[in-house]
């Protein structure tokens, strides 16, 4: 009976168009942020922060970037890890070539570099779509990794190709512990998720969804396909580039091409499919599911004393089964299940 909107009257258009129009949703969001900012750094172990929460937030940001392109604009992409690599290496080179450059500004410049690469490789979307577009973005993955491997300037002439990332120092404060890195990543992800949510509710987001649903009809009513599609590629690549920079600096501690392989692109795609295509919340739910599932499967395999050969492939088998399950049973993923649960809670105990 607590989750009701009875008595919550809207007296202005601004109040009616809030992101969270129900008071209980706003209270729950603020409570969740308070727990994430205050309680988690105080009580979570360094392992939980470094191995679970930080990668969860970074993958959520990368999945959000892919969701903007695939879920809202309808452009299938398999090159997410390549755009993350561009953001990471561009941020490293900006910090290495421009002494005194703020770290956050380097992350932004890395994201802009990824956006320019995304625009360049998004040009085929003006002519092709579907699986053919996915194949062209797959070429992005191999081309970017090849460039990072074969051009010594990008890796600062490192013989091994593995570079130690610079320390994160912002306004003289060094983010060198797991709790500090966690708070930094949390702040960046929260701000960018809010910006993405507002962007999707604006004219830009509506143009993306119009092109996704039927691009010919969208062009007839006045949307410019080239501008809309390339803007989607740019914004998506920017988000992935910032996520790649955070992945290198806050999680790995190194900048290396092999960290951004094709497997990472597919993992982020699985996050979008399982979490929910075309949903900001789905990006976070999918990332949480993909990050936590190997932990639970490892505990499950050890508890049953499964052979090593079975335990090592259990994760892949479960991932494949879940992808097929969600595509058949609930194509909109965990976000849709969460929405159905909230709707039933609002009507409980009345069935209709």
The mean-pLDDT minimum among 11-25, 100-114, 146-160 falls in: 11-25
pLDDT at 239: 96
**The pLDDT of residue 66 is above 80:** yes
The 3-state secondary structure of 117-160 reads HHHHHHHHHHCCCCHHHHHHHHHHHHHHHHHHHHCHHHHCCCCC
For range 155-182, the mean pLDDT: 85
Most confident range (mean pLDDT) of 42-46, 158-162, 240-244 is 240-244
Bigger pLDDT: 321 vs 86:
86
- Give me the percent of the chain exceeding a pLDDT of 90: 39
For range 30-50, the mean pLDDT: 91
pLDDT at 350: 66
For range 255-266, the mean pLDDT: 90
pTM: 0.91
Average pLDDT value over all residues in the chain: 87
Q: Does an H or E element contain 300, and which? A: helix 280-304
pLDDT at 85: 94
For range 209-224, the mean pLDDT: 87
What are 5's two structure tokens? 């909107």
Confidence of residue 88 (pLDDT cuts 50, 70, 90): very high
Sort strands 254-255 and 163-164 into parallel, antiparallel or unpaired.
antiparallel
What are 32's two structure tokens? 């969740």
Confidence of residue 80 (pLDDT cuts 50, 70, 90): very high
What are 352's two structure tokens? 């209709």
Distance CA 71, CA 90 (A): 27
What is the torsional sign of CA 233, 75, 318, 337? positive
170 forms beta bridges with 173
Domains annotated on the chain, with CATH: 45-347 (1.10.3470)
254 forms beta bridges with 164
For range 327-337, the mean pLDDT: 84
**The pLDDT of residue 87 is above 80:** yes
Cβ neighbors of 114 (< 8 A, separation 6 or more) are: 83, 84, 86, 87, 90, 237, 238, 240, 241, 242, 244
Confidence of residue 351 (pLDDT cuts 50, 70, 90): low
For range 259-267, the mean pLDDT: 90
Cβ neighbors of 188 (< 8 A, separation 6 or more) are: 61, 107, 242, 246
**The pLDDT of residue 303 is above 80:** no
Bigger pLDDT: 311 vs 341:
341
pLDDT at 342: 80
């Amino acid at each position: 009976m607590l989750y009701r909107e009875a008595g919550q009257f809207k007296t202005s258009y601004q109040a009616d168009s809030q992101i969270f129009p129900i008071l209980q949703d706003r209270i729950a969001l603020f409570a969740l942020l308070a727990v994430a900012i205050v309680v988690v750094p105080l009580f979570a172990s360094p392992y939980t922060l470094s191995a679970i929460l930080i990668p969860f937030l970074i993958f959520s940001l990368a999945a959000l970037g892919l969701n903007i392109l695939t879920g809202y604009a309808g452009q299938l992409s398999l090159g997410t890890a390549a755009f993350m690599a561009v953001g990471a290496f561009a941020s490293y080179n900006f910090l290495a070539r421009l002494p005194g450059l703020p770290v956050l500004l380097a992350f932004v410049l890395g994201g802009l570099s990824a956006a320019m690469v995304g625009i360049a490789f998004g040009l085929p979307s003006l002519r092709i779509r579907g699986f053919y577009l996915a194949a062209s973005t797959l070429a992005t993955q191999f081309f970017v990794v090849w460039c990072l491997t074969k051009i010594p300037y990008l890796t600062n002439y490192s013989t091994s190709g593995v570079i130690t990332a610079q320390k994160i120092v912002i306004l003289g404060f060094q983010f060198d512990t797991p709790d500090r890195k966690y708070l930094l990543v949390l702040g960046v992800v929260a701000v960018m998720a809010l910006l993405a949510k507002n962007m999707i509710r604006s004219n830009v987001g509506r143009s993306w969804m119009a092109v996704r649903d039927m691009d010919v009809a969208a062009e007839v009513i006045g949307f410019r396909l080239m501008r809309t599609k390339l803007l989607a590629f740019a914004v998506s690549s920017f988000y992935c580039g910032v996520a790649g920079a955070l992945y290198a600096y806050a999680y790995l501690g190194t900048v290396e091409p092999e960290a951004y392989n094709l497997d990472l692109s597919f993992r982020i795609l699985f996050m979008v499919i399982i979490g929910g295509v075309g949903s900001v919340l789905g990006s976070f739910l999918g990332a949480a599911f993909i990050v936590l599932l190997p932990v639970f499967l490892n505990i499950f395999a050890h508890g049953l004393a499964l052979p090593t050969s079975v335990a090592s492939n259990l994760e892949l088998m479960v991932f494949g089964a879940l992808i097929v399950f969600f595509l058949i049973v609930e194509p909109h993923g965990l976000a849709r299940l969460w929405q159905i649960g909230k709707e039933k809670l609002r009507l409980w105990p009345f069935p209709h």
